[in-house]
Amino acid sequence: MIKQNMSSYSRGILLVIFAGVCWSIGGIMLRSMETATAWQVLFYRAVGMIFMMSIIMFVRHRTGILKIVRAAGLPGFVGALCLTTAFTTNIFSMLQTTVANTMLMQSTQTFFAAVLGWLVLRETVPRVSWIAMSVALIGVVVMVGEGFESDSLTGNLLAFTTGFMVAGYAVSLRAGQMSDMLSAAFLAGIFTLITSGLIANDLSISNHDLALSLVMGIVQFGVGFTLFTFGARFVPVAELMLLSLTEVVLAPIWVWLGVGEEASVMTLIGGGIILASITALSVFGMLRNRKYINAFKLKTDTTTE
């Protein structure tokens, strides 16, 4: 049982980190669109996400999806609303302001998650986590500082809202971890599909944009949020948000490789700072967990004797 706890925490860290890797493809995908509007991308991205989530949920449970959704209860519904809002504010933020602004404002999700986790779940945040989050925020500022613009209030507020909503989603996952909270992401896909379908004036897009939107839905969100949901079972909410900042580090690299947009020296330095903070948190977290488990084992052995 002790070994299982330790391996679960380590596995949770890896799942969340790879979730950030999946999310990081969003920038290059949006840059590669031809003519699709935001609402069209949201609609077809939701189609791909629902398709992928349906397959994963069916394979896991071999039962009706509606039954799984009902089992998630209030945490699942609240998480779905948070995620639906985050989907929308994120894409419109990048249309209203620079990617640099969006990344910087969204990185506040780590601190939102720490506060919400304490208020709602009573999860205390260790000092090392606060330090790691602060260092990571410095890394984000270094990464995007050269391209930061403060003249787009609407775009900044939308990105700020995205960070808060993603943190709310993470808290809902922790609150409903006894249920299969994949249903929250599935519901978010349904809500987004309905909303964007009603608002979009025309859903006719090119095959190129359709393919990219579906890949975003399947890989970026379908696989990404599945990994994040599983990881949330074992990792405190504040650490969840910090570990997922791999998205911020990798997004400019994919853009550089895909469309030749070179990453500046400051971007590389800032990314290195973020990766260092994530690595340090992962190592300290596993050592902290091992110390707790060893102490528990020693206490158990002493009691048995």
| Total domains present in the chain | 1
280-305 pLDDT, tens per residue? 766 776 666 555 444 434 344 444 45
Distance of CA 280 to the CA centre of its chain: 20
Instruction: Name the residue with higher pLDDT: 165 or 299.
Output: 165
Residue 207 scores a pLDDT above 90 = yes
**Residue 34: both structure tokens together:** 């031809």
**Looking at 72-86, 219-233, 234-248, which range is the least confident one?**
234-248
Please report, for residues 5, 284, 286, the alpha-carbon distance to residue 291 in angstroms, rounded to integers and kept in the order given: 12, 10, 9
Please report, for residues 27, 50, 177, 214, the alpha-carbon distance to residue 40 in angstroms, rounded to integers and kept in the order given: 16, 15, 33, 11
pTM: 0.78
Half-sphere exposure of 282 (CA within 13 A, CB side): 21
Question: What domain range is 126 assigned to?
Answer: 2-304
- Per the rule left: phi > 0, alpha: psi between -120 and 50, beta: everything else, 63 is beta
pLDDT category at 179 given cuts 50, 70, 90 is: low
| Most distant CA pair in the chain, distance | 73
Helix (H, G, I), strand (E, B) or coil at 60: helix
What mean pLDDT value characterizes the chain? 79
- Which whole number is the average pLDDT over 171-194? 84
